[in-house]
Chain A
Amino acid sequence: MLASLALLAALTALPLFIPPFWTANILGRAIAYGIVAMSLTFLATYGGFVSLAQTMMGGVAGYVAAVLVPDSLPSLVGGVPYAAAVPIALLAATASGLLIGAIAVRTQGIYLLMITLALAMGFHLFAQANIAWFNGYEGIRNVVGPEVLGRPFRDPFVFYYAALASAALLYALVLYVVRTPFGLVLQGLRDNARRVNALGYHAALHRIAAFGLAGFIAGCGGLLVTFYNIGITPGSIGLGPTVNVLVMSVIGGLGHPIGAFIGALIFTLFDTFAADLYDRDRFNTLVGLVFLLIVLASPDGVLGVAKRATAAED
């Protein structure tokens, strides 16, 4: 708890000392993607579901907002102020999470991974083919985000602090939820579904609700990413970005929600500076190899490495 608050204070003060590029394009972006990754870490750590639908849920929020808000190009509905569009978008993301949960609830493990991947790719292909609601391949541009205290969302500090505040609140929410009776039942289901069932809990409902919460979290991240990119395209919810979320979560470590942010930060640093380390065009090879290396060497990610290192010292 104290460590978390200290970290939050440090992250709050940090933009005063670093260039704006770092504030928005590295830390801010890492936090926004970290929120999407935390949605997966929450499901995986406490529910035992490794899902590939996180980017899709975030994309649902992004697309709903893009369709509704004023000034987006092309304007499909338009005219709905951000104060209304953002909650509607989050509601839609939560609903998509509940729906995915309802479809996937009877499956587990790799089946769940396959089904969520299939759903995510289906949504991606649908968005790419549909002109009426998604503007097809080009997606929707000029989704600038709300003004905060008279400053545009694009301002590095506004974006950074909005992302940081969302991340802190959602992080606290996850840590709170897993201590509630609901969270305890969820962890019980992960460890021994039969026994929890026998105690009279409704397993399917708990799982669906967990997906709903994951949808809400991913929706928050998806909105931030959409505002950061000033729009949304089908490409941003394709296989690459879908897998990237899993890569971030696994690199950081599926064991604690903080792992998602560690993974997202490492990923973003790679994404930004890989060009200096290695052939610019072969970024994906590098990411793929790093991912492979981590899965092969330390399935529990950086967190696992840290845990083993401290255990070895004792």
Chain B
Amino acid sequence: MEGSLAVTVALNGLTLAALYFIVASGFSLIFGLMRTVNMAHGSLYLVGAYVGYAVFEPLYDRDAWWAWYAGVGAGIAAAAVFGLAMQAALLGWMQGQELRQALVTIGVSIVAADQLLAVFGGNPRQFFPPDALFGATELPGLGRYPTFRLVQIGVAVAVGLGLWLLLNRTKLGLMVRAGVDDRQMLTALGVNVPLVSLAVFALGAGLAGLGGVIGGSAQPFAQGVDVRFLLTSLVVVIVGGMGSVAGTAVGALLVGMAEQIGQALFPTYSVILTFLIMAAVLALRPQGILGRPA
């Protein structure tokens, strides 16, 4: 029994890490290219979750089998459009003023949280994924385990692979990587960097929206979740290293595992474990585990 409990905790940590990776990879991507600390990343998560839900619910009531998939699509699209608008209207023209950008996104997150409360109210909501994804799966040696949590891992792996392919095998990825290294030089070579920035912002925001729907299917979401996921994204990329997909994965794994193991061993002190990890990483390797020195 002890052994299977440990495996369950580890598996829970892995599935939580998967969700954290999906959300934080978007944050890390945006930071990597634009040096923008998007303090509204949690709001993007919540926008994705709520808009996805608004599309999902009426379809679900009519028993449409594709309701959840439509919710996923709508959540991603809504967050991406929101992020795009933010970059186009507010952040793009103050490129390079990092602190000011962070302050602007804080302002956006205050307004967004309040407007979401006004429109959607404070009641918790939850998506119901199709039965194929939602039941329980028999795992060897462990017994029944929620299928959706396994789906979560699958989505995270797909996101990770997709990002890796995008960054390493496409023209856009080439430009993004070049922009991370030397933005000015890339501009001088004739690349429309603001356009690339818009694309990256939409992609990063869309990932937050995807995280919102996935997270909102695994457990209920409500106002205040934006804070939790902003915080998690911050810690994950600080631990893993800014702007690195692999670093984000390592950070998400560490934080997700620490949270679950902490909750199993010493429930009310588990938050501290996460922050001890962060402090230790900062003391030993300020750029993060896989980050490059600034």
Contacts and interface: CB of A to CB of B under 8 A. Distances in A.
Interface of A: 50, 103-104, 106-107, 109-111, 113-115, 117-119, 121-122, 125-126, 129-132, 238-239, 243, 246, 250, 281-285, 287-289, 291-292, 295-296, 299
A106 to B, nearest CB: 4
Contacts of A125: 231, 271
A292 B268 contact: no
Given A118-B234, A126-B272, A285-B115, A110 B98 contact: yes
B116 to A, nearest CB: 11
Contact of B118 (A131, A250, A282): A282
A110 B37 contact: yes
Contacts of B107: 288-289, 291-292, 295
A295 B234 contact: no
A285 B111 contact: yes
Interface string B254-287: 0000000000000111111011001100110010
Q: Identify the interface centre among A118, A246, A281, A292: most chain B CB within 10 Å of its CB.
A: A118
Contacts of B278: 115, 118
Contact of A113 (B37, B110, B113, B271): B37
Interface residues of B, number: 39
Contact of A287 (B35, B110, B274): B110
Contact of A295 (B35, B103, B272, B286): B103
A267 to B, nearest CB: 13
Given A109-B98, A113-B99, A292-B111, A118 B227 contact: no
Interface in B81-136: 90, 97-100, 102-104, 106-111, 113-115, 118
B115 A114 contact: no
B110 A243 contact: yes
Contacts of B67: none
Contacts of B198: none
A114 B37 contact: yes
Nearest to B108: A292
A118 B272 CA distance: 11
Contacts of B271: 122, 125-126, 129
Contacts of A115: 234, 238, 278, 282
A113 B97 CA distance: 14
A303 B149 CA distance: 52
Contacts of B238: 111, 114-115, 118
